[in-house]
């Protein structure tokens, strides 16, 4: 059916506008963390919010109040989990995982690349994006919890930003024969 009358269109416009405003208000109240770069947890919440918005817009059996409660519930749960993740390391590890070292001291770590399913070409692309011409100029490449690659250049002393990165202990023990460049 192409057109079922103006009442359905009017409902979609009215409820859609109010649901959109409600979602924006909830997102603003919940803080900037709700809108940061997405890890797997954030992606699930975002998809669930989109699905809830679509249901409110298109399903006449779902009242606007139910949709607003769904938005508040999802955003509230995300707030609770992120609040807990800031205070408890085990919650953060469960929800977002941990960054993983995939190159160290100018060498790619083949076991880490396999474990994280990152191709050497992706690492080289990240180096180019960050302005590095040679892997030898790099102290570390880290796969972050949001899937991005961070490149830490060589500097005097150990890089303090690598604290808490999975695989750091093993990288210190690896010799040149264990790594692939």
pLDDT tens column, 24-83: 887 777 665 555 566 677 778 888 888 998 998 888 888 888 988 998 998 888 889 888
Rounded-to-integer distance, Cα 76 and Cα 48, Å: 13
Two tokens at 139?
Answer: 């102290």
Two tokens at 46?
Answer: 């975002």
Element (H, E) at 143: strand 138-143
Average pLDDT value for the chain: 81
| Whether pLDDT at 170 is above 60 | no
- Considering the chain, what percentage of its residues have pLDDT values greater than 90? 25
Look up tokens 């202990």; give the residue: 169
Residues 6 or more apart from 12 whose CB is under 8 A from it?
A: 57, 58
């Amino acid at each position: 059916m192409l057109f079922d009358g103006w009442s359905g269109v009017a409902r979609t416009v009215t409820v859609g506008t109010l649901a959109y405003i409600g979602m924006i208000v909830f997102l603003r109240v919940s803080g900037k963390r709700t809108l940061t770069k997405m890890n797997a947890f954030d992606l699930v919440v975002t998809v669930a919010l989109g699905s809830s918005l679509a249901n409110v817009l298109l399903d006449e059996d779902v009242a606007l109040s139910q949709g607003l409660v769904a938005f508040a519930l999802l955003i509230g749960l995300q707030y609770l989990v992120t609040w807990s993740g800031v205070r408890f390391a085990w919650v953060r590890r469960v929800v977002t995982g941990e960054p993983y070292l995939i190159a160290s001291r100018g060498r790619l770590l083949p076991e880490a690349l396999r474990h994280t399913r990152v191709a050497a070409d992706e690492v080289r692309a990240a180096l180019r994006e960050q302005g590095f011409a040679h892997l030898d100029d790099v102290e570390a490449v880290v796969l972050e919890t949001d899937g991005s690659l961070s490149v830490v250049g060589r500097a005097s002393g150990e890089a303090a930003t690598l604290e808490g990165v999975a695989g750091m202990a093993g990288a210190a023990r690896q010799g040149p024969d264990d790594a692939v460049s």
